Amino acid sequence: GESVGLHLPTLSVQEGDNSIINCAYSNSASDYFIWYKQESGKGPQFIIDIRSNMDKRQGQRVTVLLNKTVKHLSLQIAATQPGDSAVYFCAEITSYIPTFGRGTSLIVHP
Amino acid sequence: GAGVSQSPSNKVTEKGKDVELRCDPISGHTALYWYRQRLGQGLEFLIYFQGNSAPDKSGLPSDRFSAERTGESVSTLTIQRTQQEDSAVYLCASSPRTGNNEQFFGPGTRLTVL
């Protein structure tokens, strides 16, 4: 039968705090890693990507860190705002094909 | 400007019926992707097109699933003899070219198979 409810990992933060969302990936041969944001009822929205030969990349209020040793990716959001509330997905890209993680729900309390 | 559009937004069908889902990518985008998203899950890659050719169909779950693309425009995803486990949101995305990581997603089609 169909699953009931969402059992995503959830991160709750206060407005203004920094948020860190983590992701483990599986393929050491992946070329790129991407973070997407998905608001309720909408398609995912690209946030930032990082090439596999980089360790860190910064965007506007966001930083992605890549640790290839332990196959770990993180997204840091500075000064989190209520509008940042969404589900965040990481994806690894191998030969143009993305494999998505399950997602983390970020809840920002005003 | 116009983004990626998908139709219908919602589709309810009976088990065993065929359904056709449509995606209109951003004009000029040569790469087009289809994904399936089950409730509370991440996106599952189905197929991508570079122009009207599909270099990788490995994500299609079964031979009941097929997709076509006309030139560098509209794409249709067809599911034959639908099953209850096909119930999901089907998302389409386009990007300027294959290898461009920034994909632009449509709002999705929510398919419910009774």
Q: Please tell me the predicted confidence (pLDDT) of residue A2.
A: 33
Distances (CA, A) of A107 to A25, A51, B7: 23, 28, 30
Confidence of residue B1 (pLDDT cuts 50, 70, 90): low
A15 touches chain B (CB under 8 A): no
**What's the mean pLDDT in A75-92?**
96
Q: Is A96 within 8 Å of B106 when comparing Cβ atoms?
A: no
Per-residue pLDDT for A56 more than 60? Answer: yes
Chain B residues with CB-CB distance to A99 below 8 A:
45
Alpha-carbon distance of A45 to A106, in angstroms, equals 15
Q: How many other C-beta atoms lie within 10 A of the C-beta of residue A68?
A: 15
Per-residue pLDDT reduced to its tens digit, B48-68: 999 888 888 889 999 999 999
On whether any CB of chain B is under 8 Å from the CB of A96, the answer is yes
Residue A102's pLDDT band (cuts 50, 70, 90): confident
Residue among A5, A46, A103 minimizing CB distance to B103 = A46
Average pLDDT, chain B: 92
Return phi, psi of residue A93, to 5°. Answer: -110, 125
Please report residues of B whose CB lies closer than 8 A to that of A33. none
Query: Of all residues in chain A, what percent carry a pLDDT higher than 70?
Result: 94
